[in-house]
């Protein structure tokens, strides 16, 4: 059998490797059992593409004119695209049935008749040889290439739509995706829908959406082939590169399609397919690359050989001694040195076979080549002339214009550039096919021709070896690899799977055999250990079941004992906490008596606990106020002192620091202000001494106890404020409804720490009506996301300023506002100083604060025996003080009670009488102190809250007074005197609507209440 026509070309190796892979995938899918519709369509797609590659194998291996019919086989790519269309509609399920019933038959019909038309027309076309691709073909099929592109773009649009439809989205634009109710909403609706579509495609959510996007990426990459084809036609890239990209991209994308489908298909499959498939694709890709490299070297070897023959015969050619030239040289032809690719000014100098190689045939081939290359350009010019009917040109002029335009194209420039180079392999047809190499001498260019068939035989020798290598390697991988994987991977995994199945059935006596100590061996060993553990656990469980009741009793007893032990420890700890809180409370003393600069503070420690049915808190925040006199006994100035501190640490550690600070600071205040003492020193020097004294005390703890604090002195008449801030949160100034920070930078380190800043007393001038607020860092340490796993702590230190402005600087409302923003994570304290608060209208200054009930005062001040008083003749003291009060000797009665209180400070009966008498004796500061102490132990006595409110009101502490009055309202909402007091306090703090509400409520109960009427008359004028 004569097989002279079978000669493999340079491009055959890559295509053959791709064909082997896609053929195997096609056979695998076609022979697969229980195929679903997507599998059938995918098999059709691979079958179509495998026929396409088979056509290219025919093209690159058949060196005969009938090889042009390979185009009929390569056009089976149309049916591959038809399979792709069916696949994208049915994967992962058919959910656009109506559209699919129209689109699939429509495209199948178009593609089928397009294929028939291609065969019908192509069979009539003249066969030409394409030297770039080295195969026979015919010049037809541009419209079918367009059809191929369309039938790839359409399934891409379908799979993109499916990706978007299957993907979920709950982002920012969701609120605009509902169908609009008005025309004005349509632009935003359409824009959001478009944007969300791209977001869902780029970042899909859901298994089906991810699978669809994977296929869309594969189709997009498939379009690279079409792009490279255009680049090759435009002369931007060579055909060699295009053929390499075409074969390998087709191989990779088809395999990617296959693996993606297997990973997302509901049909059962085996990982053996993936292992062998990946191995085969990898090896064939490498072999294809090596094959291309080998054939490239083979072609270079051919060129070097022919160049050597030319250089060896060059002298003989120039001297026209043709008997001395190489036997492989078929002809020598001379042309002008300036001749281009279309120049036919040629002369044959030597012709080894005159009957085959003739000048007429050469010129005929040049003319035919020129006609083919100018065909598109001429058609374009003719189209332009039809639009402009006035333009009529002859055929010669038409060809000249087309030639002029073509010479400006990249394609011509590439061809001409190669044509101008010396000793570069070119091709010529003149009856037979030839390769030729040119060289220039003087003003002539010599064309040295060789037989093209010799070139193909040279290439075929190496290509056949590579093809056989690929074929043998593929067979070897398909036979050897499955056996290897079967013994080393599949069987051990099947054994392990069988063991899992038996364990699921309840058989715990199974042992998976271990043949090799590799990863699977380790997995089997771990499985055996796990089964043994389950087996042992089952035995223990059965033992537990048999002796459950007894074990539960033993374990319950152990738990109860541990709980009792924990409870004892907790009681002991809470006792320590309670004792510490009792020690701390008297130290947090609002001792300021100035009405020009009234002070109030709020402390809420983070640690809450109960001890013997009493609730308390414990922490490191501390507030202290007092009054100091500086100057001479007959000429002094009164200063109000305020200190707000925050000791380092939580709970007990922080409480220890605040205790130390409280003891030290109260000791300083005691020696500085006791017995109406006037300090003969400068206030700045006094503050300096205070800083150094407190700092030295805390430094003695060697860094284990430090405290941040702000200490302020305000002259009650001039408003001069002296202060230092030891790394405490910035002091807040509330002026004319606006809040701001007084300090703008760090001035001093904490007390107890070495400071790089030199101590200095700072000054600030207050204006009448100004409010100064000191506060701990609990105001900033707010957890903004308490429900989240990771805390988000507030970092905006200016947020407190808005709270101050919104609450009109009411420190008792700060806590509720902060809680509305998040969770408070630290101790919280605020200290408020009002400098010369605005005076209240004199019109209602004569509101009388009535006792909460006359019965209560009479009962408390009645002389009787009290069995609750024991020891130290407290009963006699109690009776004596009441008697003195009845006789009008209030101060004497207070002195008697104070002596008794110094001995028994925690006697509630005594404290109630002392608080009441202090109020009656107008010692409001003492009344506030004693009543606060009493209410810590007994917080549900509404009368004592009422007198505490009145005492604080007399001292100008309107906010504190309002809080106490609110407690009375909670305990007894309809107490008329407290309703009037609440109304008046709301009026004094600027809350006129609240004031009106409480006065109206009081008049509903007592329509003749003069105080309520008086408040309402004032409010009507505001």
pLDDT digits (tens, 9 = 90+) for 298-353: 888 988 999 999 999 988 988 888 888 898 999 999 988 888 877 888 889 899 88
Tokens 């284990």 sit on residue:
704
| Composition of the chain by helix, strand, coil, percent to 5 | 60, 15, 25
Q: Could you report the per-residue pLDDT of 386-427, keeping only the tens digit for each?
A: 666 555 677 777 777 777 777 777 767 777 777 778 888 888
Reading the block at residue 821, the tokens are 């923003």
Find out whether the peptide bond into 92 is cis, omega within 30 degrees of 0: yes
Adjacent-strand bridge partners of 961: none
Over residues 443-472, the pLDDT tens digits come to: 889 999 999 889 888 888 888 888 888 888
Average pLDDT, the chain: 82
Superfamily of domain 851-951: Tetratricopeptide repeat domain (1.25.40.10)
Instruction: Quote the percentage of the chain above a pLDDT of 90.
Output: 17
Cα 667 from Cα 903, distance rounded (Å): 20
Q: What is the tens place of the pLDDT at every residue in 608-653?
A: 777 776 777 888 899 999 999 999 888 899 999 999 999 988 777 7
Q: Write out 614-662 in H/E/C secondary structure.
A: EEEEECCEEEEEEEEEEEECCEEEEEEEEEEEEECCCHHHHHHHHHHHH
Q: Given this model, what pLDDT does residue 267 score? A: 67
Beta bridge partners of 704: none
What DSSP line would sit under 384-430, residue for residue?
A: HHHHSTT----HHHHHHHHHHHHTTSHHHHHHHHHHHSTT--EEEEE
Mean pLDDT confidence for 221-236 = 72
Q: Is the pLDDT of residue 580 over 80?
A: no
Under the banding of pLDDT at 50, 70 and 90, the label for residue 107 is very high
Spatial contact of 913 and 878, defined as CB atoms under 8 Å apart:
yes
In 3D space, the residue among 335, 361, 315 whose CA is nearest the CA of residue 438 turns out to be 335
Predicted pLDDT of residue 842:
38
Write the pLDDT tens digit of every residue in 808-851: 898 888 988 999 898 888 889 999 999 988 754 334 444 555 55
Reported in sequence order, the residue ranges of 720-844 that DSSP labels E, i.e. its strands, are 720-726, 732-735, 738-741, 762-765, 771-775, 782-783, 823-824, 828-834
Q: Output 550 or 832, whichever has higher pLDDT.
A: 832
Least confident of 130-139, 769-778, 978-987: 130-139
Q: What is the torsional sign of CA 794, 798, 800, 806?
A: negative
Q: What is the pLDDT of residue 867?
A: 47
pLDDT for residue 856:
54
* Res 844: pLDDT: 45
Closest to 933 measured CA to CA, from 911, 917, 951: 911
Domain parsing of the chain, residue ranges: 12-167+204-269, 320-461, 508-546, 578-776+829-839, 851-951, 973-1022
Q: Flag the least confident range among 171-185, 198-212, 750-764, 787-801.
A: 171-185
Q: Return the structure tokens found at 860.
A: 């408390």
Q: Identify the band that residue 729 occupies on the pLDDT scale cut at 50, 70 and 90.
A: very high
The pTM (predicted TM-score) of the whole model is 0.51
Compute the average pLDDT of residues 27-49.
87
Q: Strand pairing partners for 602?
A: 830
Cα separation, 150 vs 847, in Å, equals: 94
**pLDDT above 70 for 266:** no
Q: What is the pLDDT of residue 713?
A: 96
Residue 515 vs residue 908, higher pLDDT: 908
Q: How far apart are CA 465 and CA 484, in angstroms?
A: 27
Nearest one of 663, 762, 741 to 707, comparing CA atoms: 663
Residue of 728, 695, 698, 733 lying closest to 710 (CA atoms) = 728
Cα–Cα distance, 49 to 151 (Å, whole number): 14
What is the pLDDT averaged over residues 227-236?
A: 70
Q: Do residues 967 and 948 make contact, with C-beta atoms less than 8 angstroms apart?
A: no
Q: May I ask the CATH architecture of the domain 578-776+829-839? A: 4-Layer Sandwich (3.60)
Tokens read off for 672: 């500085």
Task: Give pLDDT, residue 305.
Answer: 92
Give yes or no for residue 533 having a pLDDT over 80: yes
For residue 162, which phi and psi values (nearest 5 degrees)?
Answer: -65, -40
863: pLDDT confidence band, cut at 50, 70 and 90? Answer: very low
Query: Mean pLDDT, to the nearest integer, of 955-968?
Result: 85
pLDDT for 930: 85
* 30 to 23, 39, 42, 263, 466: CA distances (angstroms): 11, 8, 9, 18, 29
Confidence of residue 175 (pLDDT cuts 50, 70, 90): low
Domain 12-167+204-269 in CATH 2.40.50: no
Residue with tokens 């007959």: 634
Lowest mean pLDDT among 375-389, 496-510, 772-786: 375-389
Q: Tell me the backbone φ, ψ of residue 639, rounded to 5 degrees.
A: -115, 140
């Amino acid at each position: 059998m004569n097989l002279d026509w079978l000669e493999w070309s340079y491009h055959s190796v890559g295509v053959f490797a791709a064909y082997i892979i896609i053929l195997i995938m096609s056979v695998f899918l076609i022979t697969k059992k229980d195929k679903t519709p997507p599998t059938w369509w995918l098999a059709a797609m691979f079958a179509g593409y495998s026929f396409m590659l088979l056509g290219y194998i025919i093209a690159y291996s058949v060196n005969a004119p009938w090889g042009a019919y390979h185009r009929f086989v390569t056009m089976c790519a149309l049916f591959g695209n038809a399979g792709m269309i069916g696949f994208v509609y049915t994967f992962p399920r058919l959910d656009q049935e109506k559209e699919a019933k129209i689109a699939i038959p429509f495209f199948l019909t178009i593609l089928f008749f397009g294929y028939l038309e291609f065969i019908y027309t192509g069979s009539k076309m003249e066969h030409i040889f394409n030297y770039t691709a080295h195969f026979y073909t015919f010049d037809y099929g541009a419209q079918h290439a367009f059809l191929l592109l369309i039938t790839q773009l359409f399934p891409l649009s379908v799979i993109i739509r499916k990706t978007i439809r299957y993907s979920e989205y709950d982002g920012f634009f969701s609120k605009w995706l509902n169908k609009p109710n008005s025309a004005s909403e349509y632009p935003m609706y359409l824009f959001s829908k478009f944007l969300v579509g791209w977001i869902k495609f780029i970042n899909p959510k859901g298994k089906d959406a991810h699978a669809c996007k994977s296929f869309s990426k594969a189709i997009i990459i498939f379009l690279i082939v079409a792009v490279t084809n255009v680049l090759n036609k435009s002369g931007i890239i060579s055909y060699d590169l295009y053929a390499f990209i075409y074969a390998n991209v087709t191989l990779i994308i088809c395999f990617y399609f296959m693996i993606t489908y297997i990973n997302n298909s509901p049909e059962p499959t085996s990982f053996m397919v993936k292992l062998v498939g990946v191995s085969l694709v990898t090896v064939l890709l490498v072999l294809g690359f090596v094959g291309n490299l080998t054939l490239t070297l083979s072609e270079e070897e051919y060129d070097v050989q022919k160049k050597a023959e030319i250089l060896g015969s060059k002298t003989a050619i120039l001297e026209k001694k043709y008997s001395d030239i190489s036997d492989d040289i078929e002809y020598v032809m001379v042309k002008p040195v300036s001749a281009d690719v279309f120049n036919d000014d040629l002369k044959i100098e030597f012709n080894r076979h005159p009957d085959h190689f003739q000048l007429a045939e050469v010129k005929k081939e040049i003319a035919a080549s020129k006609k083919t290359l100018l065909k598109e350009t001429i058609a374009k010019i003719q189209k332009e002339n039809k639009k402009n009917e006035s333009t009529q040109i002859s055929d010669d002029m038409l060809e000249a214009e087309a030639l002029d335009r073509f010479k400006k194209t990249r394609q011509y420039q590439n061809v001409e550039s190669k044509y101008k180079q010396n000793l570069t392999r070119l091709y010529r047809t003149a009856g037979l096919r030839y390769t030729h190499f040119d060289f220039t001498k003087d003003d002539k260019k010599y064309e040295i021709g060789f037989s093209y068939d010799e070139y193909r035989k040279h290439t075929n020798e190496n290509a056949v070896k590579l093809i056989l290598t690929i074929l043998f390697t593929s067979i070897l991988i398909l036979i050897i690899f499955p056996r290897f994987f079967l013994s080393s991977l599949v069987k051990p995994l099947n054994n392990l799977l069988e063991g899992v199945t038996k364990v699921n059935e309840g058989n715990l006596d199974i042992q998976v055999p271990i043949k090799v100590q590799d990863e699977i061996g380790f997995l089997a060993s771990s499985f055996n250990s796990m089964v043994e553990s389950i087996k042992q656990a089952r035995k223990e469980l059965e033992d537990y079941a048999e002796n459950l009741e007894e074990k539960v009793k033993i374990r319950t007893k152990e738990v109860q004992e541990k709980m009792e032990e924990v409870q004892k420890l907790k009681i002991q700890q809470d006792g320590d906490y309670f004792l510490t809180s009792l020690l701390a409370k008297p130290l947090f003393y609002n001792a300021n008596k100035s009405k020009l600069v009234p002070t109030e503070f709020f402390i809420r420690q983070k640690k809450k606990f109960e001890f013997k049915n009493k609730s308390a808190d414990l922490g490191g925040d501390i507030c202290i106020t007092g009054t100091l006199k500086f100057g001479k006994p007959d000429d002094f100035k009164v200063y109000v002192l305020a200190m707000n501190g925050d000791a380092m640490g939580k709970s007990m550690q922080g409480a220890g620091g605040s205790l130390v600070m409280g003891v030290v600071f109260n000791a300083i205040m005691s020696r500085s202000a006791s017995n109406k003492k006037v300090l003969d020193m400068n206030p700045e020097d006094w503050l300096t001494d205070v800083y150094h004294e407190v700092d030295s005390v805390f430094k003695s703890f060697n860094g284990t106890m430090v405290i941040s604090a702000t200490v302020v002195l305000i002259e009650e008449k001039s408003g001069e404020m002296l202060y230092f801030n030891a790394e405490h949160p910035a002091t807040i100034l509330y002026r004319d409804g606006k809040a701001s920070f007084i300090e703008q930078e760090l001035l001093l380190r904490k007390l107890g720490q070495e400071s790089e800043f030199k101590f200095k007393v700072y000054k600030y001038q207050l204006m009448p009506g100004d409010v100064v607020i000191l506060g701990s860092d609990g105001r900033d340490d707010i957890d903004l996301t308490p429900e989240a796993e990771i805390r988000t702590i507030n970092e905006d230190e200016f947020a407190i300023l808005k709270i101050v402005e919104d609450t009109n600087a009411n420190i008792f409302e700060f806590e509720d506002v902060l809680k509305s923003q998040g969770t408070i994570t630290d101790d919280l304290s605020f200290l408020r100083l009002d400098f010369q608060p605005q005076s209240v209208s004199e019109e209602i200054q004569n509101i009388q604060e009535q006792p909460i009930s006359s019965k209560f005062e009479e009962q408390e001040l009645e002389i009787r025996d009290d069995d609750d008083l024991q020891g130290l003749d407290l009963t006699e003291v109690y009776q004596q003080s009441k008697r003195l009060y009845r006789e009008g000797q209030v101060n004497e009665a207070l002195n008697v009670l104070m002596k008794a209180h110094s001995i028994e400070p925690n006697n509630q009966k005594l404290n109630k009488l002392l608080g009441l008498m202090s109020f009656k004796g107008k010692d409001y500061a003492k009344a506030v102190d004693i009543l606060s102490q009493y209410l810590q132990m007994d917080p549900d006595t509404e009368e004592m809250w009422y007198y505490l409110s009145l005492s604080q009101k007399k001292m100008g502490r309107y906010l504190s007074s309002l809080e106490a009055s609110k407690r009375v309202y909670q305990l007894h909402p309809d107490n008329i005197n407290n309703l009037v007091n609440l109304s008046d306090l709301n009026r004094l703090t600027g809350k006129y609507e609240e004031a009106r509400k409480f006065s109206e409520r009081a008049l509903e109960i007592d329509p003749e209440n003069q105080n309520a009427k008086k408040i309402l008359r004032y409010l009507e004028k505001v």
